[in-house]
Structure 1
Amino acid sequence: MERLRRTMLFMPGNNPSMLQNSGILGADSIILDLEDAVSITEKDSARILVRNAVKNIDFYDTELVVRVNPLSSDFGMEDVDVIGRAKPDVLMIPKATEEDIEMVCEILTKIEEEEGFEKGSIKLFPLIETAYGVENVYSIIQSSTRIIGILLGAEDLTADLSIKRTREGKEIFYARSKIATACRACKVDAIDTPFADMDDLEGFVADIQTAKSLGLTGKAAINPRQVDTIHEVFAPSKEEITHAQRVIYAMEEAKKEGKGVFSLDGKMVDAPIITRAQNTIIKAKLAGLI
């Protein structure tokens, strides 16, 4: 785990003032959006604006992601070429397929050679928002070593399935679970779909908790006001941190005594509990909690 991706905050690619300030909003990653946030008549001007923002604005420690248009559209391929040469941290690919990822990788490899960038330095984040994408998410991840995570897009997915998107989210339980499992198997991040109702704090918190309980590692946000809440839910609690520290201490003491097995609070501690404790400590350190 090199960095936290608890939050990925979408910002419209056609709004200069929002682009200017996006690096100070507290999100782990910022997604400069050239797709849904931009009308067809503004696609070309937004691309230029985002390219200049990537090259000239200081985003500080925030990971910089650009969501391009679908490769099947009139804008996607040019987005990849123009934005790729500005060298963002990550490109996000909508409605991703294995073929899309392979095509983008060919373009990026050429760009990196021509621009003198380090090979493989521009990473990829496929957006899974179709039934095909859900069923093939593992092979999509495996299609490129550039891939560092997956983002679930529930609005487009439920439209593709011809079903209703609900507050409770039962209709995306399968997609969430499959993406979380595939990402864990491939050791990449699994980012949950945004929650659209800004006035429903109770529903928002419950939605984050559900995503976390299924193994998703972060959540997309559509408003800066959502960032702190997501961070709070995904952060290890004080109790979890304290217990993890006690597990690690007990493990180290057992090693000193030559014990292969040990107990804590009357319960045997095995490898999965130790691994969970180690992961908790890593997350807490990255979040600045210890």
Structure 2
Amino acid sequence: MRRTMLFLPSNNPNMIGNGGLLGADSLIFDLEDAVSPDEKDAARELLKNALAAMSFGKCEIIVRINGLDTPYWQEDLRAVVPMKPDAIMPPKVSGAHDIAQLDQALTALEKEFGLEAGSTRILALLETAIGVENAYAIASASPRMTGLFLGAEDLTADLRCQRTKQSQEIQYARGRIVCAARAAGIEPYDTPFTDVQDLEGLEKDAAFAKGLGFSGKACISPAHISTVNRVFSPSAAEISYAKDVFAAIEEAKRQGKGAISLRGKMIDAPIVQRARLVLEAASEIEGVDYLA
């Protein structure tokens, strides 16, 4: 489960060292935007050593490599793939050809280092107009694909519009990425909310993203983690209703009824599916099997 994904600069040993203690489901170690060109080699070596020596608890490990149009990305992969990160995040993915190129490179490295073929997943960062338009082709380009991630700051620069807290300028991109990811059977993840101090705005933005169908949201500050975790976790009311749905189904089976209603509303397949997803998420978060 990726409710929260926290970006951490790979050239900051203190932030790397504390990453597993901050409460995020996933850590994105950034070798791209957070690292200047003259620090790329040092950051890559620091991250490699940290991944080899440190435990980050239950946190998923994702590495954002440099763009495939740069001279850095292949060295990024050679350094981190042997450390067995859960996923690689390529930035500014523009089409299926980018995923194919990355897939080929990962396959070669997994073979070279004796790793299980296909074990390194890909979480693609879409932050250009062409990337958004090619979202489904990207999402379905490789079995390694595990998600699509919206990068709104670079996208709005590419669109030549202002990035606002209201986020109306990215509504189309949000919807397209959610649809493309769901159609391909992978997960969509929302862009960070960049005002570190505005926790009320963060909560509204996260709730809106959840309502669109996003599975989680990235964070650029540890201060945002608890809010985003809460928004993307099932509420007590949602869990209670989902349990009631399955209780009603069992009662209908016991009575031999074909039609099932709950609180004056018929229980159909979409309601059952939503209830199942709520209980699966709650089970994963709380370590309790609500579907047993």
Q: TM-score, normalised by structure 2?
A: 0.96
Q: Distance in 2 between matches of 1:99 and 1:81?
A: 20
How many angstroms does 1:74 deviate by? 1.9
Q: Distance in 1 between matches of 2:74 and 2:108?
A: 13
The corresponding residue for 1:45 is: 42
- Of 202, 205, 211, the match for 2:203: 205
Q: Distance in 1 between matches of 2:252 and 2:176?
A: 38
Contact 1:167-1:203 within 8 A present in 2 as well: yes
Structure 1 spans left out of the alignment, 5+ residues:
none
1:120 is aligned to 2:118: yes
Contact 1:30-1:63 within 8 A present in 2 as well: yes
Contact 1:80-1:104 within 8 A present in 2 as well: no
Structure 2 spans left out of the alignment, 5+ residues:
none
Contact 2:149-2:190 within 8 A present in 1 as well: yes
CA deviation vs aligned residue, 1:65-89 (integer Å, no higher than 9, x gap): 0000001012122212222222211
The corresponding residue for 1:103 is: 101
- The RMSD of aligned alpha carbons is 1.1
Q: Distance in 1 between matches of 2:245 and 2:51?
A: 43
Contact 2:9-2:15 within 8 A present in 1 as well: yes
CA deviation vs aligned residue, 1:60-114 (integer Å, no higher than 9, x gap): 1100000000010121222122222222111000011311211111111111111
Give, as a single letter, the amino acid of the residue that structure 2 aligns with 1:139: A
Local SS of the residue matching 1:232: helix
Q: Distance in 2 between matches of 1:227 and 1:76?
A: 29
**Mean Cα deviation higher: 247-256 or 171-180:** 247-256
Contact 2:3-2:217 within 8 A present in 1 as well: yes
Q: Distance in 1 between matches of 2:80 and 2:101?
A: 15
The corresponding residue for 1:74 is: 71
Local SS of the residue matching 1:85: helix
Q: How many residues align?
A: 287
- Of 154, 178, 181, the match for 1:180: 178
The corresponding residue for 1:246 is: 244
How many angstroms does 1:289 deviate by? 7.7
**Mean Cα deviation higher: 76-85 or 221-230:** 76-85
- Of 193, 196, 213, the match for 1:195: 193
Fraction of identical pairs, as percent:
49
The corresponding residue for 2:53 is: 56
Please list every run of at least 4 consecutive aligned residues from structure 1 whose deviation after the TM superposition is greater than 3 angstroms.
none
